[in-house]
Amino acid sequence: MDRAEEKFRIAYEWGSKSRRKIELKSGYKIPDALLNAVARIHMDQVPKEARAMWWEIVSENDPDLVTAFVAHVTAAQEEDTL
């Protein structure tokens, strides 16, 4: 897990520098590389502990991103249930 944490920190650092941004429904603009990382971390074969570690790193560096992403997912889930 120590090695995973190092890799996640590097992935976050590089991903956050991405110039291309994708706008979430909330209006928050997320670097596309970070959005891709989020998609990969939520693949079925990724352990829950690794997901938690990723989100801990993101929340340390950009708590607004976590808030925006949670709002985005919540809105998407509400649309699916309508």
> pLDDT tens across 29-39, in order?
999 999 899 88
Nearest residue to 36 (alpha-carbon basis) of 47, 48, 50, 20:
20
Give the count of domains, the chain: 1
Domain extent for 68: 2-81
Cβ-Cβ contacts under 8 Å for 8 (sequence gap 6 or more): 50, 53, 54, 57
Under 8 Å between Cβ of 29 and 22: yes
Cβ-Cβ contacts under 8 Å for 20 (sequence gap 6 or more): 31, 32, 33
- Hey, what amino acid is at 27? G
Question: Mean pLDDT, to the nearest integer, of 43-57?
Answer: 94
Whether 13 has a pLDDT exceeding 90, the answer reads: yes
Percent of the chain residues topping a pLDDT of 70: 98
Question: Mean pLDDT, to the nearest integer, of 57-77?
Answer: 88
